Amino acid sequence: MKNRFSFLTSHKALGTIAVVGLSFFAGYKVAQDSPIVAEDIKAAQKILNLNFTDNEIEQLLPNVNRNLNGIQELHAYELDNSTPPAVWFKPQQTGKAIASRQETLRWQLPEKVDLPANRNDLAFYTVAELSVLIRERKISSVELTEFFIERLKKYGDTLQSVITVTEERAMAQARKADELLKNGTYLGPLHGIPYGAKDLLAVPEYKTTWGAGPFKDQYRGDELATVVKKLDEAGAVLVAKLTLGALAMGDVWYGGTTKNPWNLEQGSSGSSAGSGSSTAAGLVPFALGTETLGSIVSPSTRNGVTGLRPTFGRVSRAGAMALSWTMDKIGPMARTALDCALVFEAIRGTDGIDLTVEDHPFNFKGRVDLSQLKIGYLKDYFENGRGSQKENDDQTLEVLRSLGANLEPVEWVSDMPFSGMQAILTAEAAAAFDALTRSDQDTLLVRQNAGAWPNLFRSARFTSAVDYINANRARYELIEKVNQLMKNYDVIVTPSFGGSQLLTTNLTGHPCVVLKNGYNTNGSPTSISFIGNLFDEATILAVARAYQEATEYDEQHPPKFID
């Protein structure tokens, strides 16, 4: 029998969010009826950790064969990737109380911003700085959009980070932004600001490829991702659809490997590979990324940008490729925490389509007094670090202390069946791409090793429905434990890849900000992560902003892309 029973080998290999249309696989052939016999059950028992007696097996055979008929009918029924399950996940809100009243947002944008002597320096201006230039009409949106489109065309191939430059749409949006401003209408901090979107977000009249060969010519009709629609309404200008590792894993897509602009011999990590690479290299001021298990955290780290993974249920995923309906999240990747806050305010909130999303206040205060916050740090993870990463992480704690933070050592949640709970992701992903597997179109994906999606989709077929449900029951207990821990803190600081925290917080839905805190011995960036309470992105973003204003890492950019 062909070996298809391997489980995940490394959570770091996984990438983030996807929502896929598989309609073109309609009509694939259903397997011919072949009665299941006792020997089949005995072999399957080993896979499922069962031990039925011979009499029990004989008794269940008629039921299993009846079930097979139903399963064959289900496999023949066409389901688009955009169709969610009839049940959905919401993290239980039993931790720190969620704010009930929206306060006045205090961005504290720069008071004075001038155009640079060298116009090329605009490439690394923050969203906040560009916002002031636009508002004060020191530069037009058309000029700024043309500038970034030129950089996308100049460097996109070098980085292999761009799938489609949406030039026609972008220029129309930019002209509209300028006309509105001319007539006295200002839509807010994102008015006229160009940006890029990970190419698993649907935009009419442009391909939505999911980075994968089987879908490289896919159009999603008139489907428009809610996050893109919200940014349209905020006045932002979509200039490009950016690369992602195929079906939201890693940095390898059908056109190549997206590069780290700090080290072109190295991939940019994934799966929000193009979003991280393009933002770091100044091809866009910010980009949208997605995360299921590290796909914002990992490329933000590798490319040295600031990433916000919001609370699960904060941002609608309508119009995005679905990888895991209970773990996918969409968030901004930008130069600074303030930039992430500006974008997050625009994209958060309900849309009546993604029913997991809730409306809760975002009380971002601009700046915060760290001495007034309860801040913990995951002591064991800091102590177990190595080399330059440990040095940078330890230095981060010293910077926070210098800003007034009273850091308390914290022990993270342990003694949970993490490997078993990780099967939630692979089971849901296998369901999202069931037709791809059954049609053998998975052979068109570039990566075909044991840790790549084709094999993981096959392996996940041997996760039983009973085990999937019990994994989610264990997940309930995990969320309760994290909520009880987080109740005592406003922020917990952790090495970005320390222990089980990345898997844990993606399972529990807690928000995270990841930001550059130095470089390794190869000159590539390293990062630190700030974890917050459910629906409290405001606090972790304010703490991240305080750290960035006390350091210079967010002001340092890849030398090869500074003109």
Helix then strand count (H, E) for the chain reads: 17, 15
Residues 164 and 210: beta-carbon distance below 8 Å: no
Residues 491 and 458: beta-carbon distance below 8 Å: no
Tokens (6 digits) for 485: 């821990």
Question: What pLDDT score does 298 carry?
Answer: 98
Query: How far apart are alpha carbons 209 and 244 in whole angstroms?
Result: 9
On the 0-12 / 13-18 / 19+ scale of CB atoms within 10 A, 392 is buried
400 residue type, one letter: L
What residues are paired with 306 via a beta bridge? 334
Tokens (6 digits) for 555: 């002001």
Closest CA to 147 of 282, 262, 260, 261: 282
Number of other CB atoms surrounding residue 458 within 10 Å: 17
Question: What pLDDT score does 178 carry?
Answer: 98
Query: How far apart are alpha carbons 93 and 25 in whole angstroms?
Result: 40
Query: How far apart are alpha carbons 414 and 478 in whole angstroms?
Result: 9
Q: What share of the chain is helix, strand, coil (3-state, %, to 5)?
A: 40, 15, 45
What predicted TM-score, i.e. pTM, was given to this entire model? 0.93
Question: What pLDDT score does 6 carry?
Answer: 31
SS3 of residue 560 by DSSP: helix
Question: What pLDDT score does 497 carry?
Answer: 97
Sign of the C-alpha dihedral computed for residues 313, 315, 320 and 321 taken in this order: negative
Query: How far apart are alpha carbons 93 and 483 in whole angstroms?
Result: 8
Domains of the chain: 28-77 (no CATH), 119-355+364-414+475-561 (3.90.1300.10)
pLDDT in tens, 445-497: 999 999 999 999 999 999 999 999 999 999 999 999 999 999 999 999 999 99
Q: Which residues of the chain have pLDDT under 70?
A: 1-33
Question: What pLDDT score does 33 carry?
Answer: 56
Sorted by sequence, the CB contacts under 8 Å of residue 403 that are 6+ apart come out as 370, 546, 547, 550
Cite the DSSP H helix spans in 183-265: 226-233
Helical pair 141-159 and 273-280, crossing angle rounded to 10 deg: 120
